[in-house]
């Protein structure tokens, strides 16, 4: 039998083949209504279906990632999904026509010097029950005033985050502009050994998919520098496979307040410095 291992690498076919990304449902929280919902996209029709599931939910957190973004009336600014504030990331812009262009690259600190309005959004891969009661891997964005609740929760736990069933409930808060809802995270219980076995496999699946995507797009590592310096044509970018669903959030309280890393004290910032 002919050994084609070397030929596969030399052929260059991996440079044009886009890895298959799982179409994970989206778990979403509405800070105006306090309601959680599950968003599913039909792979054949691309139809979006939304299922409300109430003002609380329970999940197992499998993987923690992050993006930076901000919105104006007509424009969206956002980075690729990544692991740490130390990663080299790429900032993209989408205008009101839907056209996407690449703006810049660098670490979080570097990009914020150029675009100071960028805010962090934690992207959680979670195992949760869907609208049919079946456990599925979902993606869940935590932003705005709920971020400090999540960061505090990470520091309080005495087990690995994936060993815990996390209860998430809506909680009403208010400021001078009015009331709004945020998420509160609590450790409900340690999961069973049988469930932990599934969780470990799910984490491996997620990480392998992320690695394949980042390898293909050279994002999240040193090669991102080359990409940002000319690897992607500025006016011809298909980011559908790169990014989670990024939408203007209803969670920001009246008056535009967002709890961010900069509003934490020094001790709190040190505790979450690698998130």
DSSP assignments along 138-201, one per residue: EEEEE-GGGHHHHHHHHHH-SS-GGGEEEEEEEEEEEETTEEEEEEEEEEEEEPPHHHHHHHHH
Taking residues 157-185, report their average pLDDT: 89
Q: Which residue has the higher pLDDT, 125 or 46?
A: 125
Give tens-digit pLDDT for 103-155.
888 899 999 999 999 999 999 999 998 877 789 999 999 988 898 899 999 88
pTM: 0.77
Q: How many Cβ atoms from other residues are within 10 Å of residue 258's Cβ? A: 19
For residue 63, which phi and psi values (nearest 5 degrees)?
Answer: -150, 135
Contact 58, 167 (CB under 8 A): yes
Closest among 65, 60, 36 to 127, alpha carbons compared: 60
> Does 6 score more than 70 pLDDT?
yes
Closest among 89, 88, 66, 93 to 77, alpha carbons compared: 93
CA–CA dist 126, 132 (Å, integer)? 16
At 212, is the pLDDT very low, low, confident or very high (cuts 50, 70, 90)?
confident
- Name the strand (E) or helix (H) holding 206: helix 193-217
| Percent of the chain that is helix, strand, coil (3-state, to 5) | 30, 35, 40
Q: Which residue has the higher pLDDT, 258 or 84?
A: 84
At 252, is the pLDDT very low, low, confident or very high (cuts 50, 70, 90)?
very low
Give tens-digit pLDDT for 225-251.
444 444 443 333 334 334 444 444 444
Give tens-digit pLDDT for 7-21.
777 776 666 565 556
Q: What is the pLDDT of residue 217?
A: 59
> Of the given ranges (142-146, 170-174, 221-225), which has the lowest mean pLDDT?
221-225
Q: Domain ranges in the chain?
A: 21-261
Q: How many Cβ atoms from other residues are within 10 Å of residue 41's Cβ? A: 14
Q: What is the pLDDT of residue 170?
A: 93
Taking residues 155-178, report their average pLDDT: 87
Residue corresponding to tokens 């195992």: 127
What average pLDDT is seen over the chain?
A: 78
Contact 106, 89 (CB under 8 A): yes
At 42, is the pLDDT very low, low, confident or very high (cuts 50, 70, 90)?
confident
At 218, is the pLDDT very low, low, confident or very high (cuts 50, 70, 90)?
low
> Does 101 score more than 70 pLDDT?
yes
Beta bridge partner(s), residue 256: none
Q: Which two tokens stand for residue 21?
A: 């990304």
Taking residues 255-274, report their average pLDDT: 45
């Amino acid at each position: 039998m002919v050994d084609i291992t070397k030929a596969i690498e030399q052929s260059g076919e991996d440079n044009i083949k886009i890895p298959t990304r799982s179409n994970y449902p989206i778990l979403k929280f509405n800070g105006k209504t306090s309601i959680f919902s599950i968003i599913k996209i039909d792979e054949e029709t691309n139809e979006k279906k939304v299922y409300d599931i109430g003002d609380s939910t329970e999940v197992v957190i499998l993987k923690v990632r992050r993006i930076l973004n901000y919105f104006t009336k007509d424009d969206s600014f956002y980075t690729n999904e990544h692991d740490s504030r130390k990663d080299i990331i790429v900032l993209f812009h989408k205008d009101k026509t839907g056209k996407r262009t690449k703006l810049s690259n660098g670490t979080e600190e570097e990009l914020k010097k150029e675009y100071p309005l960028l805010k962090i959004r934690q992207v959680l891969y979670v195992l949760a029950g869907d609208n049919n009661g079946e456990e599925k891997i979902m993606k869940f964005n935590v932003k705005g005033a709920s971020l400090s609740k999540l960061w505090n929760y990470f520091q309080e736990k005495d087990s690995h985050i994936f060993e815990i069933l996390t209860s998430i409930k809506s909680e009403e808060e208010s400021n001078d502009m009015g009331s709004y809802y945020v998420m509160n995270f609590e450790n409900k219980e340690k999961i069973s050994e049988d469930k932990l076995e599934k969780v470990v496999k799910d984490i491996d699946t997620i990480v392998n998919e992320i690695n394949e995507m980042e390898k293909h797009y050279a994002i999240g590592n040193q090669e991102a520098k080359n990409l940002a310096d000319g690897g992607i044509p500025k006016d011809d970018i298909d980011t559908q496979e790169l990014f989670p669903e990024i939408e203007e959030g209803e969670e920001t309280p009246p008056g535009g307040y967002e709890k961010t890393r900069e509003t934490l004290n020094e001790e709190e910032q040190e505790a979450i410095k690698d998130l």
